Structures are given as C-alpha cells and as structure tokens.
Amino acid sequence: MTAPGAPSVRDAIEQLYAENWLRIDGRSDATVGALFADDGVLRYADLTWIGPGAIDGFYTPYRQSNHEKGRRTRHLSVNHHITPLAEQNFRVRGVVFVFSGIGSVLPLLSSAPSGVADFDDVCVLDGGGIARFRERATTMIFADAGSFDFSKVAR
C-alpha cells in the first residue's frame, strides 16, 4: 500500500519510465543507475549488470558513443502492462521505440524508429510511493545499422 498522498502505482511507474528515458536520451545529467534499487539488475540480451554503479558503467559508453557521433535519441515507451507481484513489486511489460538522428541543427532527419524493443521489468515502490527498477530485461526486436552495438560493452 502506498502512503497517503503518494502518487498512484501507475503514476509512480510512469514517472520512473519518463525519468529513465530523459536520462538515457541525455536530457538530464542525473545517472540512470540511481533509478535502480541497490540490488537492481539490468539485462540486455545475454549481458547483465548488477547494482547502480555497474548499471551506470553500462550507460557511460552509450552516452560517449552518441556524443562522439553527434547522435541524438528519443525513446518512447508505450503499452505499459502493470501486474502486481509481491507487496510493492510490480511487473511492467511494454515496448520502446527509439528514434535517432545525427547532427546539431534541429530538426534532424529521421524516418522509421532506429530500434524497437520489448521490455519486461520488475519495479518496486518505497514507502513514499517512489518507484525504482528492481529488474530490467530488454529484448531488441528491430534495429537499424545506426543502432548502438550493445555487444561491444564490457560485462
């Protein structure tokens, strides 16, 4: 049960996802790892990172690569299907579309999404109704040639 006056479960989870994509897209200097529980797990294909520090270590090369290439991204996640699990834990399944372009003059040329992925996450709410990721599992469904090559990231 969330604390009185706390946001609803859906609101808390939607805020977590919005903040996550804001940080991944480089629109905030705050770290992505801070959005994870202390024992949080990030999985991408056969790669796994555990804990906020390791998760931030994963996102560092991603951000560096985008900066070096002049690549900008925007992530749009939709169809958040939220299912209660154990107390204050919720499974969230959905889809993320990644749009990207190269350059510094807006608007950037873009066409279809550069990537489409399924995600299957477990989120946990703290006593104040703030959501954190306990587990994130991403499966890439479609990727274009300009997509970031996650297989090159050290485990």
CB-based contacts of 147: which residues, under 8 Å, 6+ apart?
Answer: 98, 100, 114, 115, 140
Helix residue ranges per DSSP H, the chain = 9-24, 52-69
Residue ranges of the domains in the chain? 9-103+110-141
The per-residue pLDDT for range 24-47, each reduced to its tens digit, is: 999 998 999 999 999 999 999 889
CB 75 within 8 A of CB 97: yes
The per-residue pLDDT for range 46-83, each reduced to its tens digit, is: 899 999 999 999 888 888 888 898 999 999 999 999 99
Architecture of domain 9-103+110-141: Roll (3.10)
The per-residue pLDDT for range 116-130, each reduced to its tens digit, is: 999 999 999 998 899
Q: Give the predicted TM-score (pTM) of the model.
A: 0.88
Residue 51 burial by Cβ neighbours in a 10 Å radius (0-12, 13-18, 19+):
middle
